[in-house]
Amino acid sequence: MKRLLTIVAMSLILLVSCEKQVEDTTTKLVINSETPFVVPFSGGECTIEFTIKNPIADTKLKAVANAWWISDIEVYDNKLTFAAQRNTSGEERTATLRLTYGDIESLIDIKQGIKEGKYDFDIKATVFGGEYYGMASSDNFNYFVQLGNAEINENNDVPDGIYYYFDIYAKYRGGDNPILPNGTYVFDKSGNCPVGCFDAQYSKAHFNDENGNPTTSFVISHGTVTVTDNRFEAEVTMTDGTVHHIVYEGELSVPSVVYSPEYGSKLTSDLSFEHNNAIVRMMYYGDYYETGKAHWSISLMECQNPIDGDYFSIDLITDSLEDTTDSVLGTYTAASDLELKENCFIAGMIEGAKYLYSWYYVIIEDYVDQSQGAPLADGTITIEKDGNSYIVTLDCVDDNGHTIKGSFNCLNCEFYDRTQM
């Protein structure tokens, strides 16, 4: 019986194998991408893959969409691409892409959702760097910051690199080892580079492709940078509507590219003076340096027209926030701008081509001649009052060891409140 069944089975196999196989020559359009096809809410270029089985000679695939937010449809041998607009409607939306190949038609449903969460790009930066330019391009201190997820090099061309740039302007000098100062910096496109801003011209972002080429570039529309100890956080909106959140945690070191001469003083010998008919101009800036005390700028010169001779510009930090001229009375010792304290004058210095803080100059017919200047690098300055006159006595040295000693008896005092500007 078993032998009989085996013979029957073999006979059936032979019969089947002897039947002629019919080849399927039907033309078919097969969609290889998952459908419905989902477009990200941010839009961009999309790709749908397909296969044409048994293609027809001289026949091309055609594609058309029924929605305004789909455009730039391009058809290739085995794929088609299209551009989708960002979905700002606040609601999920749908469209249909109709493909035709000869008499064959295929409809592809397309869906586009809305943004989930606050940010389009939430970036945890792993690299931080840049350059400190001092006052090279403005009257405020410039920190050009670069950060992202890849090595910073001359061209920032690391494959798949993400790079952000912020051109920040602060009120605090960087010193020999600049650290980005704490504070809040707001996007500004005025071109004036005010304190507390990041400037539009050089603030931007780009994402690289697998070859290191910047394929996606972003232009900032508005935003804010917040800097605290060892933490940089930016929230910016780009002109394409995307919202970017970038955070870096670590040392915020920005190497200096500023060259400063060894000495700023132009004196060749000690300086002494005695002026008994002088003017003092006192300019009040409030708590400009956020020390809890007042910052004053004091100018001393002889009372004559035109003004000629010795001229001093001095930056003081008093022991209160009072805005009266008598609140500046006292003795002040030199302090670095990086170590401010009450009852100090800010030591003069030169950074790059800028003369900063407390200096001696010469006035020639109302013109301040910096070529004959000298920084007040150390010493004491005392301000007293005798009746209606203010007496300012200087016992200082420049940055090359020359003494600068003398006094101004100021019969005229001018007061300006710069906090009202």
- The pLDDT tens digits of the residues spanning 298-308 come to 999 998 888 88
The reply to whether the predicted model has a pTM over 0.85 is no
Nearest to 406 by CA among 304, 280, 276, 296: 276
Alpha helices in 257-336 (DSSP H): none
- Tell me the average pLDDT across 18-46: 85
Asked if residues 45 and 87 have their Cβ atoms less than 8 Å apart, the reply is no
CA distance 75 to 61: 7
Nearest to 355 by CA among 107, 96, 164, 173: 173
- The stretch 109-131 carries a mean pLDDT of 91
Least confident of 21-25, 138-142, 285-289: 21-25
Instruction: Please tell me the predicted confidence (pLDDT) of residue 369.
Output: 85
Cis amide bond preceding 36, omega within 30 = yes
The pLDDT assigned to 179 comes to: 96
**If we measure between CA atoms, which residue out of 124, 92, 223 comes closest to residue 168?**
223
Domains of the chain and CATH, by start: 28-112 (2.60.40.10), 121-249 (no CATH), 271-420 (no CATH)
Q: Which residue has the higher pLDDT, 190 or 17?
A: 190
pLDDT band at 8 (very low <50, low <70, confident <90, very high): very low
Residue 13 has pLDDT above 80, yes or no: no
Q: CA 97, CA 40: separation in Å to the nearest integer?
A: 16
The DSSP bridge partners found for residue 280 are 300, 413
